């Protein structure tokens, strides 16, 4: 071993003195303290081992050093052919004892170097422990996650589709309804309702009945983590449904976006198409009751008005059949005309009779028929007048019949007006009901993908790394805080 290497070790003055005393004890020809260290190590003796130091102290090494320094003697060690140690006298340089200040400075420097070595050793040990913990708690789980995503995970295919719910916009839409019609605010509630339905258990059960959703995800070629057990519960199947059917609603544009994931691209497209059909049925169901309620009231009012109008018309017909009169006005006009004609004839006959009676010798044979004719006309006129105001054989006068017929005809006219209004109300209700109709328009049709969409191995591995690192960081900080609180 070279003396320069020994000097670079940074040995303290105490260690050098100890090496010099041990060299003198064993009789080594050391020319300096560093040479004593070199000779002792060459002889297989560690001058800084505790057992050697205690042996030296017990054998009175300190007194021998003092005597050796006082006498400035010399010793030497030679090895013979037989391996026995032989001490030979040899002159050595006188030992220069350093001053007290220098020894204190050297002791201080050596203590600082020892503390630095201890700190470096502790730092290396802590770094090694930290690296081991990071590998065990972060690196190893990340490697397992990457191995799963790259090797074990089953490739899944995602089919994307977009559709929008639109409202019917008739030409006469006005007011606030006309202002909001055609915008996403008019159908936002329906879009949210359809989104909720497509993510419900009802939709999952319908999809399983129509397309065997549970059987598809229970296939043995799917990896165990994503595979659904054949005897799995409905809740487990619903969790798989939520994980593989993702639906989002964009309120700014009113578009519903859907992504369906399956182990086969064609099956994924079939699932997506079936869910769009369920959405159309749900849209029709949402507005069907509203339209039915709006039409039901208007239709009932129209039917009631129609029945009342028919009843009024039936009453007029019954009165006409009862009194055998088609029209009271026509009957009154006819009787009045007859009375007028009879009154004219009566007046002429009365004038003729008066003229005959004015003669000095009237002809009685001509006057008697004229008087009978006048009496007959008066009786007929009285009979006709009685028909107008007095009841005949049936006990009902023409005036009463006319009154009842007029009332019945007025009722018919009123019922016809109400029927017309009811018909208009029903048409208005039909227009409003048509305005409530919703249509589902598919903007992006589901098309089977030609490449697997999941798993995204690199992205998922990086996410796993960040997750495990975050968990480790939180646990470490929590443990450090608890340790500090306990030690305080």
3-state secondary structure of 251: coil
Angle between helices 13-26 and 100-134 (to 10 degrees): 100
d(CA 43, CA 377): 182
Phi and psi at residue 32, in whole multiples of 5°?
A: -160, 175
CB atoms inside a 10 Å sphere around CB 458: 11
- List all residues 6 or more positions away from 165 whose beta carbon is below 8 Å from its beta carbon: 187, 190, 191, 194, 254, 256, 283, 438, 439, 440, 441
d(CA 29, CA 334): 174
CB atoms inside a 10 Å sphere around CB 224: 9
d(CA 224, CA 216): 14
CB atoms inside a 10 Å sphere around CB 22: 26
d(CA 137, CA 469): 8
The two structure tokens encoding residue 286? 């949402």
Q: How many residues does the chain have?
A: 488
C-alpha count within 13 angstroms, C-beta hemisphere, residue 415: 20
3-state secondary structure of 88: strand
**DSSP conformation class of 258:** E
d(CA 286, CA 190): 8
Nearest by Cα to 29 from 86, 79, 115, 92: 92
pLDDT (tens place) for every residue of the chain, 488 residues total? 577 778 777 788 788 888 888 888 888 888 888 888 888 888 878 777 766 555 555 554 444 444 444 333 333 333 333 344 433 334 445 555 556 777 778 888 888 988 999 999 999 999 999 999 999 999 999 999 999 999 999 999 999 999 998 876 544 444 444 444 445 545 688 888 899 999 999 999 999 999 999 999 999 999 988 898 888 899 999 999 999 999 999 888 889 999 999 999 999 999 999 999 999 888 887 777 666 776 777 888 888 888 888 888 888 787 777 766 666 666 677 778 888 888 888 888 888 878 887 877 777 777 888 888 888 888 888 777 776 666 555 556 666 777 777 788 888 888 888 888 888 888 877 777 666 677 788 989 999 998 999 889 999 999 999 999 999 999 999 998 998 888 76
d(CA 274, CA 226): 22
């Amino acid at each position: 071993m070279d003396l320069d290497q020994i000097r670079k070790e940074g040995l303290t003055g105490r260690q050098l003195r100890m090496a010099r005393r041990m060299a003198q004890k064993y009789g080594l020809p050391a020319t300096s303290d560093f040479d004593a260290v070199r000779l002792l190590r060459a002889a297989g003796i560690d001058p800084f081992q505790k057992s050697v130091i205690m042996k030296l102290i017990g054998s009175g090494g300190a007194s021998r050093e003092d005597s050796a320094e006082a006498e400035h003697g010399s010793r030497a060690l030679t090895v013979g052919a037989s391996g026995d140690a032989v001490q030979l006298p040899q002159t050595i340089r006188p030992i220069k004892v350093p001053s007290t200040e220098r020894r204190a400075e050297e002791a201080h420097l050596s203590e600082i170097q020892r503390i630095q070595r201890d700190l470096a050793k502790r730092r290396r040990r802590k770094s090694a422990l930290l690296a081991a913990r990071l590998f065990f708690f972060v690196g190893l789980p990340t490697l397992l996650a990457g191995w799963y995503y790259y090797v074990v995970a089953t490739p899944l295919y995602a089919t994307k589709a977009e559709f929008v719910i639109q409202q019917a916009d008739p030409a006469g839409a006005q007011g606030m309804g006309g202002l909001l019609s055609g915008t996403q605010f008019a159908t936002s509630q329906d879009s949210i309702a359809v989104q909720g339905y497509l993510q419900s258990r009802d939709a999952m059960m319908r999809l399983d009945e129509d397309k065997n959703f549970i059987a598809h995800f229970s296939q043995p070629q799917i990896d165990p983590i994503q595979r659904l057990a054949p005897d799995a519960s409905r809740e487990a199947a619903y969790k798989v449904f939520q994980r593989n059917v993702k639906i989002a609603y964009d309120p700014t544009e009113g578009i519903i976006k859907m992504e369906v994931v399956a182990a086969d691209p064609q099956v994924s497209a079939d699932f997506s198409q079936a869910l769009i059909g369920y959405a159309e049925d749900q849209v029709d169901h949402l507005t069907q009751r509203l339209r039915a309620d709006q039409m039901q009231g208007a239709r009932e009012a129209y039917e009631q008005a129609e029945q009342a109008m028919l009843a009024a018309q039936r009453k007029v017909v019954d009165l006409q059949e009862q009194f055998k009169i088609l029209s009271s006005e026509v009957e009154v006009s006819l009787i009045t005309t007859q009375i007028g004609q009879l009154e004219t004839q009566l007046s002429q006959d009365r004038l003729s009779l008066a003229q005959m009676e004015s003669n000095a010798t009237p002809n009685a044979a001509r006057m008697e028929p004229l008087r009978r004719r006048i009496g007959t006309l008066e009786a007929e006129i009285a009979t006709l007048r009685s028909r107008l105001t007095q009841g005949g054989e049936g006990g009902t006068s023409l005036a009463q019949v006319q009154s009842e017929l007029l009332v019945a005809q007025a009722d018919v006219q009123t019922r016809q007006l109400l029927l017309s209004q009811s018909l208009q109300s029903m048409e208005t209700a039909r227009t409003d009901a048509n305005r409530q109709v919703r249509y589902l328009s598919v903007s992006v049709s589901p098309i089977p993908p030609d490449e697997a969409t999941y798993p995204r191995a690199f992205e998922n591995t990086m996410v796993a790394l960040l997750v495990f690192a975050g968990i480790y960081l939180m646990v470490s900080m929590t443990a450090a805080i608890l340790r500090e609180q306990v030690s305080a």
